[in-house]
Structure 1
């Protein structure tokens, strides 16, 4: 399948190919909860699990745990366990995670700045669908 410019010829990767490892990263970053965790931690301040859960309204403990583990696995955040009773755990973005967080923050800002346009388009579409 021709996907256009093939970076593999130049020692890189080609995200358009199904076996490209970049796709796993894109799939993780594109997750709503991943994006929200990255934005929540983007200021560099470490947060505990309960803080993140309160900040991310609607996330379940299971989904938050899965998201944090995936981000840690990809090197986007660190999990620090403090030897206290009970143990205290903090999450903080790595340098790579801060870069991703900055990109996601830009998308978040853009989304918020354009929400009225999105809502108007959705309303127009829905009205057209109910009439047609």
Structure 2
């Protein structure tokens, strides 16, 4: 069995009210679930009556349930994967930027400790 994909839409049965479509949309997009539910109700009442329900049922029928492995994500992981879903290139750019920043900071620390810093040498000698 393959690992669950983080970038796929799943029904969220844990936070569902009816079939989990609105909760799944909220989880997928990062929008508050209450706003998604209000949006669906308003769309239905403002003239999309049969089509909104048909789309809801088709989505509930076609989408699979959210795997248990994905339900245990931390909020930071969920935010990361939401960013990957919305803009993969931007996410890769952000990760590269973070690694570059960490690499620069590590190089600065290494340069500080390996340089001939007389004050640091005095402090180390005082500790002995």
Question: If the length of structure 2 is used for normalisation, what is the TM-score?
Answer: 0.29
Structure with more helix by fraction: 2
**Structure 1 or 2: more strand by fraction:** 1
Q: Highest Rg: 1 or 2?
A: 2
Given the two structures, how large is their TM-score scaled by the length of structure 1?
Answer: 0.28
